[in-house]
Amino acid sequence: MAFCAKCGSQLSPGAAACSACGAPTGAGPAPAAAHVPPVSTQQAVGFISALFDLSFTNFITTKIIKVLFIISIVMAAAAAIAIIVMGFTASAVAGILALLIVAPLLFLFYVIYSRVFLEILIVIFRCSEYLAEIAKQGRR
């Protein structure tokens, strides 16, 4: 029989955490975090100050890249729906062709293109950040 080191409750065999207090037992993987910590005021102020930094010493692209990708997916979906609507407006055959072939291919192409472009953008910004860190280390 095993007991929790924190609260003294009896543990189930192989339990990763105590069922009474949630303390990890070391017998299995650690329990997952219950929530994501909120953004601190300092981080929010840092983002706003970086946004209006006219010297461009702090980059915000790496912070908002996920939002940009979601926007590009939404735009691709809207374009695909517009193509389908225009196809059905022209004729039933064109609408079915647009629904089954043209719109899905263009949607997929646009999402792939956006992803590759944003990945290249992130690589450029990370290279810049890493080079700045290397330059700082060389000055010490």
Which pTM value belongs to this model? 0.61
Q: For each successive 10 residues of the chain (140 residues), what is the average pLDDT? A: 74 77 68 57 71 80 92 97 96 95 97 97 91 84
Question: Has residue 83 been placed in a domain?
Answer: yes
Q: What is the pLDDT of residue 65?
A: 93
Q: What is the pLDDT of residue 54?
A: 82
Question: Has residue 122 been placed in a domain?
Answer: yes
Domain coverage including residue 108: 56-139
- Please give the radius of gyration of the chain, using alpha carbons only, rounded to the nearest integer: 26
Q: What is the pLDDT of residue 26?
A: 72
Question: Has residue 27 been placed in a domain?
Answer: no
Distances (CA, A) of 132 to 51, 64, 136, 137: 19, 20, 6, 9
Query: Among 64, 72, 67, 83, which Cα is nearest to 113's?
Result: 72
Distances (CA, A) of 14 to 1, 21, 22: 11, 16, 14
CB 114 within 8 A of CB 76: yes
Bridge partners of 24?
A: 17
Question: Has residue 2 been placed in a domain?
Answer: no
Q: What is the pLDDT of residue 113?
A: 97
Question: Has residue 127 been placed in a domain?
Answer: yes
Question: Has residue 119 been placed in a domain?
Answer: yes
Q: In one letter, which amino acid is 71? A: I
Tell me how many domains the chain contains. Answer: 1
Question: Has residue 45 been placed in a domain?
Answer: no
Q: What is the pLDDT of residue 122?
A: 94
Query: Among 108, 123, 111, which Cα is nearest to 72's?
Result: 111
Q: What is the pLDDT of residue 8?
A: 74
